[in-house]
Chains A and B, each alone.
Chain A
Amino acid sequence: MTEAAAAHAGAKKLGAVLLEVENVSLSFGAVQALTDVGFAIREREILAIIGPNGAGKTTMLNLLSGWYGPDKGTITYQGIRRPRMRPHEAAALGIGRTFQNVALFKRMSTLDNIMTGRNLKMKASFLDHALYWGRAEAEETRHRAQVERIIDFLEIEAIRKVPVGRLPYGLQKRVELARALAAEPTLLLLDEPMAGMNSEEKEDMCRYVLDVNDEFGTTICLIEHDMGVVMDISDRVVVLDYGRKIADGPPERVRKDPTVISAYLGVTHSPA
């Protein structure tokens, strides 16, 4: 994995700024979840957001994907300052995401789950289906082919027809990634993609994340607790603590940052 990561880092060319967060604050009642946070994500970058529990990482991801609107501050996406929007509108702009506690359609098959990811790309309307059956059917077949490519890519051929509620957790996470990829996102937000996985599953997932980034040029912003993983795959790390940004930079620098270390380990005031 380290080898792959090294090769990946060497060949990489970052593009222009894709998304910029400036002075964003958000509170829920008396809880100040985020305070004046600002950072940028560049095209084709893998950015990790880390921080202790309750630091505001998931809140930040929810802001980027339109689940919340900021109280203060701006989000600029693809050069346009974003108005308040709803999640399905963010999805239409090419922002795909996965969830910390896997949000899949449990009663639908793997294939159907991934097909929902292509819903936005499908043009045929209710009326087309009623009046021009053939054309709508041809479109369905085309999208199906696309989905099969993703199934191939993530190596989940064997579970194509299985209702996802019956799959083990690690595979569910993979199906969720497949569904997000089916929408061909420009920016992919992953909320703890490796949580609850064993080391083998983690390695697989790391490989997929890197491959998605390499092959499709997808910009990725992920939240992860496993520091080994973060240091291996990310180009840059943003550290949040108590809703504030305390560090932002390449992994090796962030790892040595004393503020980050104290946020994670607590400050020792006197030798124990």
Chain B
Amino acid sequence: MEILTAAFLGPIADMIAEPLFLLEVMIGGVLTGVMYSLVALGFVLIFKASGVFNFAQGIMVLFAALTLVGLMERGVPIWLALAITIAVMVVLAMAIERIVLRPLVNQADITLFMATIGLTFFLEGFGEILWGSNVKKLDIGIPDRSVDVGGVLINTFDVNAAVIAAVLVAVLAVLFQRTKIGRALRAVADDHQAALSVGISLTSIWVIVWAVAGIVALVAGIMWGGKSGVQFSLSLIALKALPVLILGGLTSVPGAIVGGLIIGVGEKVAEVFWGPYIGGAIENWFAYVIAVAFLWFRPQGLFGERIIERV
């Protein structure tokens, strides 16, 4: 009983005792959270437009980062390498639409999901053949050091990454909510038949969405790769996007953003304050605890559409 009391109340007492430190931890969590949002956003975009849960999103992050690093290693200047990588992701989107999605139109969701698993294996092998499998260092010139802001330590790389991610998310949100393409995208997500009848081409919408998801993957790959090197484990951050998606709902862009922030802050605070009491390293699994707790109360996610079924 004493241990339990200590485990529950101890951390809270610690937080109250050191509010500045709590703030520092939370800011760190927000900065990581924005990056989770970015990965989750890739899933949401594709799921909204084509109803496919894209298992390959994680490997797309790795593939994009690998392509960029591979080009830079061969002496291509960074801006050119960036442009080429974007072009590669767009071509990849077109190829996926033509080779994977189009032949599977009107198939069950599970079939499309399986197809994206196949895509994962393909991209993994293809990336390795092209660029090799050793860990690569990605340096894009953003300084990585800690700065003291009014007694709170903040990492400059994280701040830069978060700002870039936030700008990207904002641009995407505006484009998809307020433009002709956004309307077409929502139309396709809602009803294929009706979308075709008003002259919306499903194929071009799919290409746009997969290309945007590819570019989002590239940005995520640059940020995560810049922190921890470009290597296979990069594709596993997609697993971190899963609890974010459960929290935010698979179909909601704001959900992906808020979900990412909650997971980011939640796991950092848990690690720093509860970790010491139960042996540490809880950052890796705490996100799933939050997700399961959410599933309990809101299975459709924070912003997901409520599931209504007629009996």
Contacts and interface: CB of A to CB of B under 8 A. Distances in A.
Q: Do A and B come from one complex?
A: yes
Interface in A86-117: 86-88, 91-92, 96-99, 103-108, 112, 115-117
A98 B305 CA distance: 27
Contacts of A92: 199
A91 B179 contact: no
Given A88-B200, A88-B201, A119 B179 contact: no
Nearest to B190: A105
A136 B179 contact: yes
Interface in A219-250: none
B190 A91 contact: no
A229 B227 CA distance: 70
A65 interface: yes
Contact of B184 (A98, A103, A119): A119
A112 B187 CA distance: 9
A105 B181 contact: no
B184 to A, nearest CB: 6
B187 A108 contact: yes
A116 B208 contact: no
Contacts of B298: none
A67 B202 CA distance: 13
B309 interface: no
B15 to A, nearest CB: 42
Contacts of A103: 191, 193-194, 197
Contact of B194 (A104, A120, A140, A183): A104
Contacts of B197: 65, 87, 91, 96-99, 103, 180
Interface in A109-131: 112, 115-117, 119-120, 122, 124, 126, 129-130
A173 interface: no
Contacts of A86: 196, 201
Contact of B191 (A88, A105, A117, A120): A105
Looking at B186, B193, B194, the one whose CB has the most chain A CB atoms below 10 A away is B194
B98 interface: no
Interface size class of A (residues with CB under 8 A): 20 to 34
Contact of B199 (A98, A120, A130): A120
Nearest to A115: B183
Given A116-B183, A119-B183, A122-B180, A107 B190 contact: yes
Contacts of B194: 99, 103-105, 179
Contacts of B190: 105-108
Nearest to B199: A91
B208 A126 contact: yes
B305 to A, nearest CB: 8
Contacts of A116: 183-184, 187, 195, 198, 200
B196 A129 contact: no
A85 B138 CA distance: 48
A122 B198 CA distance: 12
Looking at B191, B208, B305, the one whose CB has the most chain A CB atoms below 10 A away is B191
Given A99-B193, A103-B191, A117 B179 contact: no
B39 to A, nearest CB: 23
B181 A91 contact: no
Interface size class of B (residues with CB under 8 A): 20 to 34
Interface string A127-139: 0011000001000
Contacts of A117: 198
Contacts of A130: 171, 175
A126 B187 contact: no
Interface string A164-194: 0000000000000001100100000000000
Contacts of A99: 193-194, 197
A98 B191 CA distance: 13
A15 B216 CA distance: 53
Contacts of B179: 124, 126, 129, 136
Looking at B180, B181, B200, the one whose CB has the most chain A CB atoms below 10 A away is B180
Interface in B192-215: 193-202, 208
A87 B180 contact: no
B175 A119 contact: no
Nearest to B305: A107
A106 to B, nearest CB: 6
Contacts of A115: 183
B289 to A, nearest CB: 32
Contacts of B171: 130
A86 B105 CA distance: 14
A183 B181 CA distance: 16
A119 B179 CA distance: 10
A119 B193 contact: no
7 nearest A-B pairs in the assembled complex, by CB-CB distance: A91-B199, A103-B194, A87-B196, A105-B190, A120-B199, A129-B179, A88-B201
13 contacts: A86-B201, A96-B198, A103-B197, A104-B191, A106-B190, A112-B183, A112-B186, A119-B199, A122-B180, A124-B180, A130-B171, A179-B194, A183-B198
Given A98-B197, A126-B179, 16 more contacts: A88-B200, A91-B197, A103-B191, A103-B194, A103-B197, A106-B190, A107-B305, A108-B190, A112-B186, A115-B183, A116-B200, A119-B200, A124-B179, A129-B179, A136-B179, A183-B199
